[in-house]
Structure 1
Amino acid sequence: MKPIIPALVFGVLFFASRAVVAQPSLTEDLFDKQIKAQREKIDRLEKELMELRAKRDPKAEETRLRLEAEKMRLSLIEQEKLLRAMDRASRIIDFEISQLNAFHGLPRATYAAGRIEKVDAKDQSHAELWYQTDAHLVPGDELAVFRDDAQRQQIGSLEIVSAPVHGRAIGKFTPLNPRYQMNAGDYVASHVAALPKPGAKFAPSTPPLDQLGVGEIDRVIGDEFVMISFLKQTKVAAEEIFDVYHFVLQKQHIGTVRIIGVADGKGIGEFTPALGKTKAQRGDRVMIRLKDEAKNR
């Protein structure tokens, strides 16, 4: 075998691995485009190899090695895409766990009540609800669902699947009868006695989830800057200012963060402590500045 052939194979593999490792910011779409282009290249080489073998051309062996190298390059790209997907999934799971830990040690909801805000148009078994903020709901909690009428008929139950904001949650509905459907305005409660009396003031204290900018501090850089992961429903822009909270035994406001830049659900911001020596920590919650909470401070 001529020296140029193994050198060619080594060169292709070396630059293939360098190309994959050197592109940490590739999105899934870019990975897909790269994989498609690589498969087209492999198809061309396979066709070329068949033609060379038919002619018994001595270049067939060199083409075969190039083909094997390109197949290995494709495998590297596909593996890198899978690793990126696993990493993203791991970070999402870690963030969801932190949401549960944020409420650890707080009084649990034994007398909770609220209402269905809106039902998912694509999956009517899921809905966003609001509940009174003297309760603390976490995934796994179950509430009864009642009709908004004089009889307060129970139509099913709602299991909390996500509670990203105190006072707001996402739940999955299970009807008592297959004919029952959950509607916006239906009541949810830990039991019927928790429902408000007719005519009583009963309104949400927090805005809908799509109006809240909620996230968590991933990393603290020095004393002034923080890296933030935002929930997927959050829409955040540079120069917006959010409140920052510790959630240990109780919710503690520790300062504000001004967003400097946002990309792909991540943000970097400048932290300003509420008290002179208060420092942000990994896991602190980043939340919309609510008027009601401003009054309480």
Structure 2
Amino acid sequence: MTGYALEVKQVSKKIKKRMIISDISFQVKPGEIFGFLGPNGAGKTTTIRMLVGLMKPSSGTILIGGYDIRKDFKKAMQNLGSIVENPEFYPFLTGEENLAYFARMDNSIPKERIQEVAALVHMEGRLKDRVSTYSLGMRQRLGIAQALLSKPKLLILDEPTNGLDPSGIHEMRDFIETLVKETGISVLVSSHLLAEIELLCDRVAIMTEGKIILTDTTQHLLESREQIRIEAEPQNAARDILSSYTDVLENGPFLYMKKSNDVSFWNQKLVENRILVHRIERLKPSLEDLFLELTKGGEQ
């Protein structure tokens, strides 16, 4: 058994003669919110379809809650909840009736679990109402409730904020964070809203052309690419001083360096050498900046 909620090991997918997914590996830890990113055509959708059992990998291993989806498909799926695209419900039934319908598909789910998942998604007061009266955000929550019925270790959310307004997006982010804290579940999120992924996720994997090109914590990814920007005069003298410590890029009136030391260090070195410092600041890239850099500007 593995300690990961999800472990993908050297998975590939070939359709006809075309290699869609090429030897990808990554893990999702217990209680982690993991972002899965990539431009259109990168292979994200194919990967997610393999994770939820809608497609079979050509090679490699996928373990969900420690169970191999090839060798023990039923137990693997019992440890997985997912919303791929928009959740579908019977609009003429109530939320409770819809959940009861899905619960009957798995004999291991007790009746009281319906009320438990309703409480987890904060929908107790609307469970008796027809789904046709629900907002899009409420339907998304009901979809998550349905995905939680079997007490999975992993929840996969594909574009969970799709169609939501800014208020709904913020509410969904807070809800996912609270859900993870309250239940300890692991969540894999695929989204084109990179600012939300940056705020929400502990780690991210970036995929392009069927390969995982980077997996790291969101904080480390962004901090490792921080820069210091300096405007000082005389510029040539400032550049010479800074170059004795690190590589310096000159662009117009500014000098740029990787963040190998703090702002105060560079300010001190320049002032000691009688350099007039007009401006000195840290530039922290956004996840979107990093994504565009690594995928060469590809659109999601």
TM-score above 0.5, yes or no: no
Higher RCO (CA < 8 A, seq sep 6+) = 2
Q: Which protein shows a greater Rg? A: 1
**TM-score between the two structures when normalised by the length of structure 1:** 0.22
